[in-house]
Amino acid sequence: MINLETPKKYRGFVKQVHEVAENFLRSNSRKYDLAEHAYPKELDLLASLVDGMNESGQSQGAGAAGVRVKDDAKDTGVKNGTNMSSVLSVIEMCWGDVGLLLSMPRQGLGNSAIASVANDEQLERFKDTWAAMAITEPSFGSDSAAINTTAVKDGDAYILNGEKIFVTSGERADSVVVWATLDKSMGRAAIKSFVVPKSLPGIRVERLEHKLGIRASDTAVIVLDNCRVPAENLLGDPEIDTSKGFAGAMATFDNTRPLVAGMAVGCARAALELTRDLLAEAGVEVDYDRPAQSQSAAAATFLQMEADWEAAHLLTLSAAWMADNRQPNSLEASMAKAKAGRVGNQITLRCVELASTLGYSETELLEKWSRDSKILDIFEGTQQIQQLIVARRILGLTSSQLK
């Protein structure tokens, strides 16, 4: 049985994270939105605190590495574990600021990718790295199977060539998890991920993008030009197993998509809370004991938004719970990402409308949250791709059968 109340053992931790989000992230939100590409120095102290909590076990397994589930033959009961802890912390942090969360050293999506598929030796070796994740290329967006970046074995190394775009923290991170194909003719099964330190010759940041939202986070174009990467930096199994197809690479998304859904849930909650306060100041009462149709249009709209938010919230927690309990969650991860990404953006935009001039101006953060939320419906697989994955899972069809 799934109990989606915040687990008792995490309530104190969630409260701590909320305080951090309020004092470190929310308080610097506007500053780094206006100063695009400026590094948020305040995050250095926060990152050190998170590292210390992870080392001591105080963080309850949250953070980028929290998506890794350890096998324990003695543990046969249902539980809320590190995936749930990570999602709960991400929700609170993005209540503070999405862009600043994405700028946290050693807490990038690349670190989550390492935690998802690395073996124990690699996990230990890369535990102190700050890893960006590079998947998208100029020739494709969400179709990760269309990767053209190549990795050719050469002795004890792989030679990587290709171009990656929209790499979050691509300039600031000290390494990049690069998705490349070992053999294009072998299809999806040949796609592997490599940890590429940026100190290696042959990898360079070509440019930084100017963006609508998450402006505190740097987004880079990265070029790999005969970059020689040690063979031991290939994450997981180096063998091409056509029977497994793309399953190994997609396991990363099954873990990270609930995190992105949590980002949307946290950002939307921030907008809802502020909008409710602004409506109250304007004399608009939201009455939970009366039918929506008997209230003002603004109150009825707000109630509908809260209902959509609750659905996204529960789907997100459900996907995390399934991961903690070793239940296949590919369908649920995509459902959570699709629902949360869509309603998160819809809610923030509608909150701007309800707040009128206050929502559109920089007096409040509503306009910023509406800009930030859009990317959460796009990266880690667009809304359309998530719906396609959900349809395939429900209908029992392969990617070649339903495109």
Which positions are annotated as active-site residues? 380
Positive/negative CA dihedral, 16, 18, 23, 28: positive
Strands 131-134 and 175-181: parallel
DSSP 232-299: GGB-S--S--TTTTTHHHHHHHHHHHHHHHHHHHHHHHHHHHHHHHHHHHTT----TTS-GGGS-HHH
Pair 193, 245: CB distance under 8 Å: no
CA pair distance 131, 156, nearest whole angstrom: 22
For the chain, give the number of residues.
403
CA pair distance 294, 359, nearest whole angstrom: 25
Which helix (H) or strand (E) segment holds residue 319: the answer is: helix 297-324
Positive/negative CA dihedral, 373, 376, 382, 387: negative
Helix, strand or coil, per DSSP, at residue 153? strand
Helix, strand or coil, per DSSP, at residue 230? strand
